[in-house]
Amino acid sequence: MDPVEIEAKTLIQKSKTPSNDYVINPYTGCVLGCAYCFASFAGRQFGRSVKEWGDYLYVKKNAVELARAELTKMPERKRRGTILLSSVTDPYQGHEAKYRLTRGILRELQRVEYPGLVRILTKSPVVTRDIDLLTSLPRAEVGMTVTTTDDKVSRWLEVRAPLASRRLRTLAELTEAGIPTYAFVGPLLPHFATRPELLDDLFGRLVDTGVREVFMEHINLKRYIRERMDQVLADEPEDVREAYLQARTKEHREQLDAIVAELLDKHGLRLRFEEVVHHDDNDALRQRLMSSG
């Protein structure tokens, strides 16, 4: 799959995600193509369907230049905001090795000594390439998405993403380098409701890497995501299909919430936002964060 190079008009956008003020997406699309990804809508502006998620990538070749220009114009008071890289793409997917857009953007943030928090969210060990820049920023943290410790499950749902075991090693490397880390356990896989020992193992492995905080989301099964998930689940046993069907119910989420609370306490992990986020509740969460800030 050959990426398409484009000229973007803007780069630093106001964020719609809780706790982030701004977001930077150097790419549109994501070749990792995870079956459950909510961002599979992102290619609509280029006429791409949800079913094509993972099969296209648009590279904002002028992203570094835009970052330089927009940061230069940004008022000092706005520079205190949290910037997320990234929300609807992975900033360290394979083509970053060639284009180096994320590295260039980090360099621009370093140049202006950006005082706000620079937050990374990725599934890729390529992030360790930029440890030098991340440690030189006034404030930076890296989140690694880890949904399982089972590489077979990882390969099933996250077909082209780095294996879960490699992501765990990456978290340990980042922690050793002195970079604050967190784990994004999102989505919270439905089968943990009947196999809590698997979530217990995941939390234990995260603690072993030095992680002390997790951000968790229930699986988003809106219609456009189910179109992709149904293809993945078609050949699975009935009990697996049933687990994902039940995941759409409030009772299932409450059952998982209770399991999560017990295991977080056992492992001494903090839960970001103090709850497992459900996409339908994002607006309410955002309002609570604004009122508490």
User: What does the pLDDT profile of the chain (293 residues) look like in tens digits?
Assistant: 799 999 999 999 999 877 899 999 999 999 999 999 988 888 888 999 888 999 999 999 999 999 999 999 999 999 999 999 999 999 999 999 999 999 999 999 999 999 999 999 999 999 999 999 999 999 999 999 999 999 998 888 998 999 999 999 999 999 999 999 999 999 999 989 989 999 999 999 999 999 999 999 999 988 888 888 888 888 888 878 888 888 889 999 999 999 999 999 999 999 998 999 987 644 443 444 444 44
pTM of the model: 0.91
**Nearest residue to 134 (alpha-carbon basis) of 87, 170, 161:** 170
- Name the domain count of the chain: 1
**d(Cα 79, Cα 289) in Å, to the nearest integer?**
19
Number of other residues whose CB lies within 10 A of the CB of residue 226: 17
Buried (b) or exposed (e) across 10-33, using 16+ Cβ within 10 A?
ebbeebebbbbbbbbbbbbbbbbb
Contacts of residue 29, defined as CB under 8 A and 6 or more positions apart, other chains included, come to 42, 43, 48, 53, 54, 56, 57, 58, 89
Which CATH number characterizes residue 45's domain? 3.80.30.30
Bridge-based pairing of strands 27-28 and 58-60 is: antiparallel
pLDDT of residue 128: 98
Range of the domain at 246: 4-291
**Nearest residue to 134 (alpha-carbon basis) of 145, 122, 118, 123:** 118
pLDDT of residue 230: 85
pLDDT of residue 291: 44
* E-strand stretches of 21-176: 22-24, 27-28, 58-60, 83-85, 118-122, 140-145
pLDDT of residue 280: 64
